[in-house]
Amino acid sequence: MLTRIDHIGIACFDLDRTVEFYRATYGFEVFHTEVNEEQGVREAMLKINGTSDGGASYLQLLEPTREDSAVGKWLAKNGEGVHHIAFGTADVDGDAEAIRGKGVRVLYDEPRTGSMGSRITFLHPKDCHGVLTELVTSAEPSADHSSAEH
């Protein structure tokens, strides 16, 4: 069962400049940063709030590290802006299978590793009214994620 909006992914050309905009304009601070080589992105997670299920809601700022990454291709076609929405779930595997059973294409056969050690998969935007949708099961909390560059 989907429990919350985990994050909204925003594609950007310059991660540092975009982080500074959200910090200066809204007061959001970076909770975590990392480079995901598999997905070809450098990212910053800006924590918005905690939630009753122990999770949190974030803005995920994504800068491609290579032009052929999914985010790099998306930026080249669409420019900066909202890339995807992610819903939190305790069971990404089970929820992905249930949604697949309703005729929605799930993009990964098996969930992959996402931000902060989470497990993720995506749903095809053509099956979700034009919205690239991510399902996320958060990793167990660790001592400190703030600005940990991987």
Catalytic residue among 7, 32, 83, 145: 7
Is residue 60 part of the annotated active site? The answer reads yes
- Write the single-letter amino acid at 136: V
Catalytic residue among 43, 63, 83, 145: 43
For residue 31, the tally of other CB atoms under 10 A from its CB is: 20
Catalytic residue among 60, 63, 83, 145: 60
Is residue 7 part of the annotated active site? The answer reads yes
Is residue 83 part of the annotated active site? The answer reads no
Catalytic residue among 32, 34, 63, 84: 84
Rounded (5°) CA angle 119-138-28? 120
Distances (CA, A) of 96 to 25, 50, 124, 134: 36, 24, 12, 10
Residues marked as catalytic: 7, 43, 60, 84, 134
